[in-house]
Structure 1
Amino acid sequence: MSLYKLAPLSLAVAVAASLAACGKTEGPADAAVKFDLSQVDAPGIAFSVADLDPSVAACVDLNGHVNGKWLAANPVPGDRTSWGSFEVLGERSLAIQHAIVEQVAAAQPAAGSIEAKIADIWRTGMDQAAIDAAGLAPLQPTLDAIAGLNDGAAVAEWLRGQYAVGQGPLFSFFANADFKDSENVIAYAGQGGLGLPEKGYYFDADKAPIREAYVAYIAQLLELSGVESAEAATQAQAVLDFETRLAKASLSRIELRNPALRYNPVSAAEANAITPNFDWNAFFDTLQVPAADKFSLAQPGFFAELDRMLADTPVEAWQAYLRFHAIDDAAPYLAAQFEQANFGFYSQTLRGQKEMLPRWKRVLGSVNSGMGEALGQLYVQAAFPAESKAQMQHLVDNLSAALKVRLENLDWMGDETKQRALEKWASFTPKIGYPDKWREWDGLQTGGDSYLANMQAARAFNYRYVLDKIGKPVDRTEWGMSPQTVNAYYNATKNEIVFPAAILQPPFFDPEADPALNYGGIGAVIGHEMMHGYDDSGSQFDAKGNLDSWWTADDRQLFDQRADQLVAQFDGYEAIPGKNVKGRLTLGENIGDLGGLTVAYDALQMALKENPESAGLRVDGLSQDQRFFANWATVWRRNFTDGELRVRLETDSHAPANFRAVGAPSNMPAFAAAFECKAGDPMVRGEGERIVIW
């Protein structure tokens, strides 16, 4: 559960690729290349009273008061679909990463080193002429194999081979802690296979233009691969029909918020009874992972339908589906016409992005997806001051103390449940900046000939690493984000909160700032991630990270009643005319915001009591409480394209940023007191409306 959803073209590391393997290097080790960042010039986005809009009262709209002027002056750039605090900080991270990879490539690093492998991906990705000259040739063996499939059994065999190298298109298959035994890793299989963002895109009447554009895009890619125009159109419709059938058997994003619907432990024999045309023993053998005495086959209805399709869907439809997805998946690493077609649908049509990111940013995204933690090791060595980690630990300790007091004094929770909640509090594990142990990259083979080949090699290597966890104890030193990612997250099965190095800058964190800004920024983020342990989903996991109800029935009912109030609050926010936020979809993040900001405020008051000089401190005419809430709003400074916002309303578990800026403060009497708001002001929820959960 992350702090916010990364934009589609942002340069974060895929979780499967960034899970950190245990290596032998402790801390931010010296790299083979000494980096010079003196030319990195990227502006920040710290809170400033100059940004405040006096024409919009804080009691009317905190977001408009703090962010209105900045948002009006900073529309979404043409190569983006959103623009705000996270993106501005992301730009600085990118600038540092760019300097690093350029200097690595220029240094001619030793063969086999992580620097050499990063340089291979970088050089082949930046060689547009060679990529264009190669055309579709790097993918042709895959397409030829698909053309040779002749029945459902051949398709099933093909799929097994593709999953073995991390190229499986139809469902997710990954390693994770067992929800009922969090000390050990099992395999998880889950629904997938859709090219559109969510199952509703296949059925909703207002999504018909998107479906039409999707069919046109499928046909375009097939034509580019050599399929004749009329046949490409026929195959494109077959792909849409194929995916529509999968979508009908899939659960919605809201349903998938329930961990119980993501966990269904079975043996291979039990799974085979659900999918007689897809042999899970053969699948596990091909992937070279332990025999499946127990793995999670979540969403069994989806797999039953997939199995029927192996039996009753013409092989030509299977070939069209597999051919399209093979090309679509490889398009960002192929010749310009393929990359541009991919951008044209997913970014322009679907999300409203006007132009591609510069090539260097796109290739840097590939370095991150293929070797994110390796680049992160260089990033930390070059750019992360050790003192930031120590100061963050102090803030985490203060937030933890404030949360404990709040848990102990809850008036709606009984003693039995409260004791279990405190047990969970005591087991939180914070991770700050970067992993204590870095992943090793021995065995990854890269070269200077093919961009796609390098990306396929990295994917296969990373996926092999993931598969090798199955049947082993959980390694709690691993990270699920790279240090250069501007984000944070909570992991329920480890009960850990994680803060990568790149987020530790203003407006989130500034070692020179007054207390209010740090508590309203990174303090609220720390609180947010802690509160995920107590949101509608995380609260179903106990102190050891097991899916286990630790609530009395009465207390759970009281929690659900309060959560339902928060659902209603966000259901009432209209993001686009006729389109409201989905309060149930965004519930976990909204609980995180409300509880996190509340606990951060408590921690600020504790810190101010310890330092009376700061308690009365006013900076630029604002009190500490006012600056606390103002910086909270600054964090959520963000513009969206219309297309991006529409996609997020359907798929994102985070509410749009403007509603996050106002949602939690409107429930806090401390906000009203700070700005001398009156009953009836839009930012003041009345006694019967005000929501308190944690």
Structure 2
Amino acid sequence: MRKALIAFGPLLMLASAALAQAGKPEWGTFGVDQASMDRSVHPGDDHWSYVNGNWAKNTEIPGDRGALSQVQRLNDVSAAQVREILEEMIAKRATLTGDDARMADYYATLMDQAAIDAAGAAPLLADLKPVRDAADRSALAAQLGRLSRDWQGTPPIGRMPRYFPSPFPTGIGQDSKDPGVYMAGFSQGGLGMPNRDYYLNSDAESAKTQDAYRAHVAKMLVLTGVPAAEAAARAAAVYAFERGIAEAQWTLADSRDADKTYNVWTLADLKAKAPGFDWAAYLGALGLDKRPNLIVAQPSAATGIAKLIGETPLPVLKDWTAVRLAKDRALALPSAFAKEEFAFSGGVLGGATESPARQSQAVELTAAALTDAVSKPYIDRHFPASTKKAMDELVKNVMAAMDRRLTNLSWMAPETKTKARAKLAAFNPMIGYPETWRSYEGLQVVKGDAYGNLKRAGRFDYDRQLARIDGPVDRKEWWMMPITANAYASFENNVIVFPAGYLRAPHFDPNADPAVNYGAIGYVIGHEISHHFDDQGSKFDPQGRLNRWWTDQDLARFNERKAKLVAQYDAYEPLPGLHIRGQQTLGENIADNAGLAIAYDAYQLSLGGKPAPVIDGFTGDQRFFMGRAQVNKVLFREAELRKQVVSGVHSPSKWRTWAVRNHDAWYQAFGVKPEHKLYLPPAERVKIWE
């Protein structure tokens, strides 16, 4: 049994000791790259530019991407290190067996562009033949189920979008109201552009993108064998079908709502409430037609999309499927497919001017297919035990700071605070890598068959999930690769997870000044902890169940604070006429603000009442807030920035950094006064967890 968080108090100084400098930081003299700073900007006018402005002025975004960020840089580092491991394995392939042989062959086959080109589109056309031969909508629904079972999923370390081959992305996960059991469910899908707004907006930029997408669909159809003379008209029909899907879909803000998206339907419900699509045929191909219940995330969207399928000519549905599959498997097809896919997804949508290196994409797909096999040697080689130990202690310190905040919270009822602290005490932080590694015994990897390998990897993982659907939930399962530069919170499992790939400078450097580490990775830890108490995470109880545990009065006070934060972010305008969507980004904005406050408390506690030293003229508090801004050192092309605002749940990086304006200590640290642009009067500073 875990000890109550109140027992974490004696650990506070341990975390500070673990972060004490033992060598030269990777960045600067104390962990901040001072050459990146623009000292002509006052932090009170733009804290992000003060810390990162010189870097922004002198940095070019690489041609193969729409943005340049520290997270992407760390993912690139991980990918390069994994590539080195894979290439070493290829060199000694004759001596390898098991998973080592599988990942060497998987990667080598993806890298053999000549062999892929020689095979031509034949593998894709063979997959499409039963789709194009489908006599009716029932037969097509069964084919969509078959293709969905072979879907590998989105590699979470890079820039490769994947396209689920059905308008209803279907999978197996935990039942939010009974997280000890698995349940199948589906959400809305079917779009080839990032979200519904790309279809429904009528401004000039949106119209330009819509035209480019229709042209892209036409080119993809030609690559799948459609006569060029027919392609434009058929692409227009596919686009019209997707626009109809967009009209039926929920907004991203509504799709975030854990209550609204929990809807249990039976197969009979699907047939009655969402006619037009043969659910029995589709779910039968997925092995789910005998399941008593499914979770339907967006019921009205399911109804509207199913009706649309029933009304859309069968040839259009077949063309839509062909485009979907061609886009999804482009890297395992002749180079013309990959070039066209990136020209739209990376170029039109992200502003990139050149395709990424093939090896980086091949690493992503290999890691997605054989995650644990790829990650284990990476961890052995690149993640020292000392880093994990320091992180374990730092997490405990930040959790103790959150517990103190909950204990002293003025607006929450005592009985609710007790439950909140119990939820925090039940947390299970997972650092670096999973406790046990998966085996891929049974996955057939055929050297020279890139397309088939992609399919078999998807089927292997889906069948693994299906086979355990009636068994106990693995609450220690990782949903993110250890090589990934990212972090996440799982409400159902009450965990916070920090992969090894994330734990590098500028996010975490054991040789950096503790203030910088608390402002960087400490903020991220606080961010993930606070997700469990944000507008959605707060709906889950200490056992991870979607179960209201707040009083009406608590909710009213919480909602009042949330509304102020929504209004604050709604006012930000990253591009002329394009404002951040405060409701859509609310969960992340809450976590950004709360995480910063929690991390600051943890840093102060770690000092044990002693003053922080001044380093290079900067106080401890200044270094803390500089460490926070350095994490969000990101540049965007306009197209990528637009995509982030329209379809993302995070505010763009500069405006995430501006969360400092809600924290009194930042004003004191930098002498921020009413004449500065980011100044907020004390009464307008949004404070949620205090």
Work out whether residues 332 and 342 of structure 1, in 8 Å CA contact, stay in contact via their aligned partners in 2.
no
Residue 71 (1) aligns with residue 56 (2): yes
**Take 2:382 and 2:490, find their aligned partners in 1: how far apart are those partners?**
26
* Residue of structure 1 in register with 2:620 after alignment: 624
SS where residue 259 of structure 1 aligns?
coil
Conservation of the 8 A alpha-carbon contact between 2:507 and 2:517: yes
Which secondary structure state, in structure 2, belongs to the residue aligned with residue 431 of structure 1?
strand
Structure 1: how far apart are the matches of 2:374 and 2:388?
Answer: 19
Which residue of structure 2 aligns with residue 661 of structure 1? 657
Bigger mean CA deviation after superposition, 213-222 or 83-92 = 83-92
Tell me the CA shift for residue 336 of structure 1. Answer: 1.1
What is the rounded CA distance, in whole Å, between the counterparts of 2:483 and 2:168 in structure 1? 29
C-alpha deviation, 1:304, in angstroms: 2.2
- Contact 1:44-1:89 within 8 A present in 2 as well: no
In structure 1, the partner of 2:143 is: 158
Q: Which residue of 2 aligns with 1:683?
A: 678
Confirm or deny that 1:345 pairs with 2:344. Answer: yes
Aligned partner of 1:133 among 105, 118, 127: 118
Determine the structure 2 residue equivalent to 1:544: 543
Equivalent AA in structure 2 for residue 451 of structure 1 = A
Match of 1:187 in 2: 184
Give the drift of 1:240. 0.7
Query: 1:65-117, CA deviations, whole angstroms, 9 ceiling, x for partnerless residues?
Result: 10000111112111121112212222221221121111111111656521111
Aligned partner letter, 1:201:
Y
Q: Which deviates more, 569-578 or 412-421?
A: 412-421
Tell me the alpha carbon deviations over residues 451-484 of structure 1, each in whole angstroms, 9 at most, x when there is no partner. Answer: 1111111111122223333232210110011111
Q: More deviation in 275-284 or 215-224? A: 275-284
Question: What is the deviation of 1:683?
Answer: 3.1
Q: Which residue of 1 aligns with 2:402?
A: 403
Following the alignment from structure 2 to structure 1, what is the Cα–Cα distance between the partners of residues 89 and 55?
A: 36
Number of the residue aligned with 1:177: 174
What is the CA distance between 1:661 and its match in structure 2? Answer: 1.3
**Contact 1:191 1:250 (8 Å CA) reproduced:** yes
Does 1:241 find its partner at 2:240? yes
**Matching residue's letter, 1:51:** S
Structure 2 counterpart of 1:128, one-letter code? Q
Output the CA distance in 2 between the equivalents of 1:468 and 1:644.
40
Secondary structure of the equivalent of 2:623? helix
Which residue of structure 1 aligns with residue 562 of structure 2? 563
- Mapped contact 2:143–2:285 kept (Cα < 8 A): no
The residue aligned with 1:514 is: 513
Aligned-pair distance for 1:285? 4.0
- Give the equivalent residue in structure 2 for 1:579: 578
Q: Deviations over 1:575-609 (max 9, x none)?
A: 01111111111111111011011010001010011
The DSSP-based 3-state class of the residue aligned with 1:609 is coil
Per the TM alignment, residue 124 of structure 1 is displaced from its structure 2 partner at its CA by 1.1
* 1:329–1:48 CA distance, 2 compared to 1 (3 A): closer
**SS of equivalent to 1:534:** coil
Which residue identity lines up with residue 568 of structure 2 in the other structure?
Q
Runs of 4+ aligned structure 1 residues displaced above 6 Å come to none
Partner SS, residue 144 of structure 1: helix
Q: Where does 1:158-557 land on structure 2 (aligned, <5 Å)? A: 158-166=143-151, 168-206=165-203, 207-289=206-288, 291-557=290-556
1:642 aligns with 2:642: no
Does the C-alpha gap of structure 1 residues 289 and 223 become closer, same or farther in structure 2, counting only changes over 3 Å? Answer: closer
Moved more, 305-314 or 525-534: 305-314
- How far off is 1:173 after superposition? 0.7
Post-superposition Cα deviations, 1:208-246, rounded to whole Å, max 9, x if no partner, equal 111111111111111122211221112101101111111
What percent identity do the matched residue pairs reach? 38
1:80 is aligned to: 65
CA distance in 2, matches of 1:345, 1:272: 36
Q: Which moved more, 1:586-595 or 1:669-678?
A: 669-678
Equivalent AA in structure 2 for residue 186 of structure 1: M
Q: 2:282, 2:222 → 1: CA distance?
A: 32
Is the 1:175–1:469 Cα contact (8 Å) retained in structure 2?
no
> What is the CA–CA distance in structure 2 between the aligned matches of 1:689 and 1:638, rounded to whole Å?
28
Matching of residue 97 in structure 1 with residue 82 in structure 2: yes
Measured in 2, the distance between the counterparts of 1:530 and 1:677 equals 29
**1:186: Cα distance to partner?**
0.6
Conserved 8 A contact 1:153-1:310: no
Contact 1:483 1:501 in 2 (8 A): yes
Amino acid at match of 1:329: D
Counterpart of 2:653, as a letter, is A
Q: CA deviation at 1:282?
A: 4.8
CA contact (8 A) 2:276 2:311 kept: no
1:637-686 deviations in Å (ceiling 9; x for gaps): 10011110011111110001011112x21111111111122234223311
Amino acid corresponding to residue 69 of structure 1 in structure 2: N
AA aligned to 2:333 is L
TM-score (norm 2): 0.91
Deviates more, 1:208-217 or 1:367-376: 367-376
Please state how far the C-alpha of 1:279 moved relative to its aligned partner: 5.0
Partner letter of residue 139 of structure 1?
L
Contact in 1 for aligned 2:429/2:495 (Cα 8 Å): yes
Distance change >3 Å, CA 279–CA 143, structure 1 → 2: closer
Aligned-residue CA RMSD (Å): 1.7
**In the superposition, relative to structure 1, how do residues 351 and 403 fare at CA in structure 2: closer, same or farther (>3 Å)?**
same
Opposite residue 675 of structure 1, the aligned amino acid is: F
Other structure's SS at 1:418 match: helix
Q: Do the aligned residues in 1 keep the contact of 2:90 with 2:104 (CA within 8 Å)?
A: yes
Q: Which moved more, 1:587-596 or 1:131-140?
A: 131-140
CA gap 1:440/1:605 in 2 versus in 1, 3 angstroms: same
Write the letter of the residue equivalent to 1:295: L
TM-score, structure 1 as length reference:
0.91
Q: Secondary structure at the match of 2:484?
A: coil
User: What amino acid does structure 1 have at the position aligned with 2:290?
Assistant: A
Checking the alignment, whether the CA contact within 8 Å between 1:486 and 1:502 is kept in structure 2 is yes
> Is the CA contact 1:153–1:277 (under 8 Å) kept in the aligned structure 2?
no
Equivalent AA in structure 2 for residue 194 of structure 1: L
Structure 2: runs of 5 or more not aligned: 1-25, 152-163
Alpha-carbon separation, structure 1, partners of 2:384 and 2:373: 18
Is the Cα contact below 8 Å between 1:101 and 1:119 reproduced in 2?
yes
